Structure formats: C-alpha cells, structure tokens
Structure 1
Amino acid sequence: MTTMDDLSRIADEVKALAKEIEPGLAFEPKYGGEVMVPDPEAPKAFVGGVFVYKDHVSVEFSQGAELEDPKGHLEGKGKARRHLKLHATDDIEGKDLASFLRQVLR
C-alpha cells in the first residue's frame, strides 16, 4: 500500500527532475496541486502540473496529445491533456517521465 509519505516523496522527485531539466522552472499552487511554470514572468503559461491523489501522483501535461509517446505511457483521451499516473518512485524512470518533461520544458 502506498502511503502519503510515499506519494510526497514521488512528487518531490518529480519536481526535482523537472528542475534538473529546466533550472529556471517554478511551481505555483493551483487546482489542488502545483503547476509547472517555465517562465515565472508569465505564470499563466504553465505546461502541466503535479497532483497528489490518495493512491498515486499524477503528472499532467497541458498539451500532452502533442507529445511523442512511442511506448504509450500517457493516459487520457481528451483533445489536448494527457497524464502519467505514478504509483512508486520506480515509475518515474519506468514511464519515461524525463522524456516528456524534456519535450514540454524545451
């Protein structure tokens, strides 16, 4: 069973990876989670977010439908948004999170 401490650790690792890829990245509280803001001068121009739920962490991408996803890790069928559900820290690497972050933070 995944505990809230486990989920917080996953979220912290996701945010650390995102900041490693884009050091100027800011996280702003919004929608019950934290959105990724590549340009702090334009806080409304966020590219996605990190949201902690009771049994997983969701990393959501505002324009996820446009991302390259050759292994089919992204979930969601809406017009634009896609997300990854992370249940363990191993999912960060196992679901290729870094490749998606590089695409949205380029």
Structure 2
Amino acid sequence: MAAKSISTLLEDVRLLSEEGHALVQAVRALVKQTFGTVDEEVKYGGILFAVDGVSFAGVFAYRQHVSLEFGQGAAITDPYGLLEGAGKGRRHLKLRGLSDLADKQVADYLPLALQAAKG
C-alpha cells in the first residue's frame, strides 16, 4: 500500500514539474545510497524518510523548487551555513536543480539530520 501511495505521489509531482520529479527521485536515491535500508512514508504531502524507526527528513515538491526538510534541523551544527528556516525545530534546503544536490552538500547533511533526530 505504501509503495502505491509513493508512486501516486510521484506521478502527481511529475504532473506539476518534470524537473521536480527528477529532483525528488534523485533525493530518494541519495538517501538510500547514504543509509541503505530506509523506510519511506507519504505524509504531509511529501515523502518522509526514517532509519530504524527514526524519522529524520522529508522531501516536498513545489512548483518552483523541491524542499528537503529536516524535522530536528535546528539541532544541526550547520557546517556550510546553507540551512534555511528560523523556527524552533525545522530547517530545510531549497533545491532548484539536480546540481543543488552537490552544491548544497545534501549528502553531508543527511547523516547530520539523522544524528539530530536521534537526539
């Protein structure tokens, strides 16, 4: 059932933006490459990622960008100064193209986000 929900969401994202769809898929691939086994869940209009039951990030597609959200992002010591947001807990990276995966150091932020979520 979850796989169907994810595929349905991905088709909706594709209708919104082909580039956004490619970016969401690239984020998913990078998360899986980084952690191996990852649980995915459609929630809040995006795909949430969890490792060993710990939810640490989510990817959300918008018309002009894709947002990679970190639920405990405020607890991350931001090594590159790229995290956006000023709330009590969340931080995010706005991704506008595939090059942003490297330019915004996404692979480095993912383990930091998991560590922050574990507390």
TM-score per shorter chain, which class?
A: 0.7 to 0.9
Q: Paired residues, what number?
A: 100
Q: 1:26 aligns with which of 31, 39, 45?
A: 39
* Post-superposition offset of 1:85: 0.3
Give the gaps of 5 or more residues in structure 2.
Answer: 1-15
1:75-94 map, 5 Å = 75-94=84-103
Q: Distance in 1 between matches of 2:102 and 2:38?
A: 20
8 Å CA contact 1:19, 1:25 repeated in 2: yes
* Post-superposition offset of 1:23: 0.8
Identity of aligned residues (%): 41
Partner of residue 61, structure 2: 52
* Post-superposition offset of 1:48: 1.6
Taking only aligned residues, the RMSD between alpha carbons, in angstroms, comes to 1.4
Partner of residue 6, structure 1: 19
What code does the residue aligned with 2:36 have? Answer: P
Q: Distance in 1 between matches of 2:67 and 2:39?
A: 18
Q: Distance in 2 between matches of 1:17 and 1:105?
A: 14
Partner of residue 64, structure 1: 73
Regions of 4+ moved over 6 Å? none
1:37 aligns with 2:50: yes
Q: Distance in 2 between matches of 1:60 and 1:47?
A: 8
* Post-superposition offset of 1:67: 1.2
Q: Distance in 2 between matches of 1:95 and 1:6?
A: 17
* Post-superposition offset of 1:105: 3.5
Q: How high is the TM-score relative to the length of structure 1?
A: 0.88
Q: Distance in 2 between matches of 1:104 and 1:55?
A: 24
Q: Distance in 2 between matches of 1:75 and 1:22?
A: 24
Q: How high is the TM-score relative to the length of structure 2?
A: 0.79
Q: Distance in 1 between matches of 2:43 and 2:32?
A: 18
